[in-house]
Amino acid sequence: MRTPCLSGVPVAIAVLGVVIGSTALRAQQGISFEELAPRLRQYFDESMLSDVRLQLPQGAVYQVWGWDAGDFSGDGYPDLALVLRLPQERERRVWVYAFIDQDGFLLNVAQLRLPYLELPLEVGVAIRDTLCFVTQKLRARLWGMRAYRYWQGNFVLWQEREMEVSGTQSRERWQSYATLERRERLVESGQVVRERHSITLPTYRRGYRPVGGYAQDALCMRVDFVPRGAYYWSGPEDASLRLRAAYDERFLYIAAWVRDDAPVAGRCDTCPADVFWTWFASRVVSDTPAPAKSKRRRPTAPAWDIVGIGVRIGDFAEQLPELLLRSPRWQELQRDPLWRECRTVVQRRPQGYVVKLRIPLALIHSQLEAPGSEPVPVHFAAMLEDVDNEFRPEEASWVCTSSDFRPEIPETYGELLLLPQGQRYGELRNIFVAEIAEQLFRMGF
Give the model's pLDDT for residue 245.
Answer: 97
Predicted local distance difference test score (pLDDT) of residue 440 = 84
Q: Does residue 65 form part of some domain?
A: yes
Do both 76 and 143 map to the same domain?
yes
In a domain, 444, yes or no: no
Written as one letter, the residue type at 136 is: Q
223 & 135 share domain: no
Query: Is position 370 within any domain?
Result: yes
With 0-12 / 13-18 / 19 or more C-beta atoms within 10 angstroms meaning exposed / middle / buried, residue 151 is: middle
Same domain, 211 and 140: no
Adjacent-strand bridge partners of 227:
none
Contact 417, 201 (CB under 8 A): yes
Q: What sign results for the dihedral spanned by CA atoms 142, 94, 134, 437? A: positive
Domain assignment of residue 437, yes or no: no
**Residue 268 contacts residue 315 (beta carbons within 8 Å):** no
User: Tens-of-pLDDT digits for all 445 residues of the chain?
Assistant: 333 333 333 323 232 233 333 334 345 689 999 999 999 999 999 999 999 999 999 988 999 999 999 999 999 999 999 999 998 888 999 999 999 999 999 999 999 999 999 999 999 999 999 999 999 999 999 999 999 999 989 999 999 999 999 989 999 999 999 999 999 999 998 899 999 999 999 999 998 888 777 999 999 999 999 999 999 999 999 999 999 999 999 999 999 999 998 899 888 888 899 999 999 999 876 555 555 555 555 555 558 899 999 999 998 888 899 999 999 989 999 999 999 999 999 999 999 999 999 999 999 876 666 667 789 999 999 999 999 888 888 999 999 999 999 999 999 999 999 999 889 999 998 888 878 888 888 888 7
189: in domain: no
Residue 52 in domain: yes
| 46 and 99 both lie in a single domain | yes
**Domain end marker among 158, 185, 219:** 158
Q: Name beta bridge partners: 26.
A: none
Q: Determine, yes or no, domain membership for 22.
A: no
**Are residues 240 and 367 both part of a single domain?**
yes
On whether both 238 and 113 belong to a single domain, the answer is no
The DSSP-derived string for 50-109 is HHHHHHSPTTS--EEEEEEEE-SSSSSS-EEEEEEE-TT--SSEEEEEEEEEETTEEEEE
Rounded-to-integer distance, Cα 137 and Cα 120, Å: 10
Domain stops at, among 158, 193, 223: 158
- The number of angstroms, rounded, from the C-alpha of 226 to the middle of its chain's C-alpha atoms is 20
Provide the sign of the torsion angle of the four alpha carbons 338, 203, 277, 320, taken in this order: positive
- Regarding whether 206 and 149 lie in a shared domain, the answer is no
Total domains in the fold of the chain: 2
Instruction: Say if residue 239 is in the same domain as residue 373.
Output: yes
Shared domain for 147 and 246, answered yes or no, is no
Domain assignment present for 320: yes
Which pLDDT value is given to residue 369? 63
- The last residue of one of the domains, among 158, 187, 215, is 158
What CATH number corresponds to the domain at position 419? 2.60.40.1190
Examine the domain organization and report whether 111 and 232 are in the same domain: no
> Are residue 355 and residue 214 in the same domain, yes or no?
yes
| Domain assignment of residue 320, given as a range | 201-284+301-426
**Same domain, yes or no: 154 and 248:** no
Q: Tell me, what amino acid is at 102?
A: Q
Q: What is the pLDDT of residue 53?
A: 95
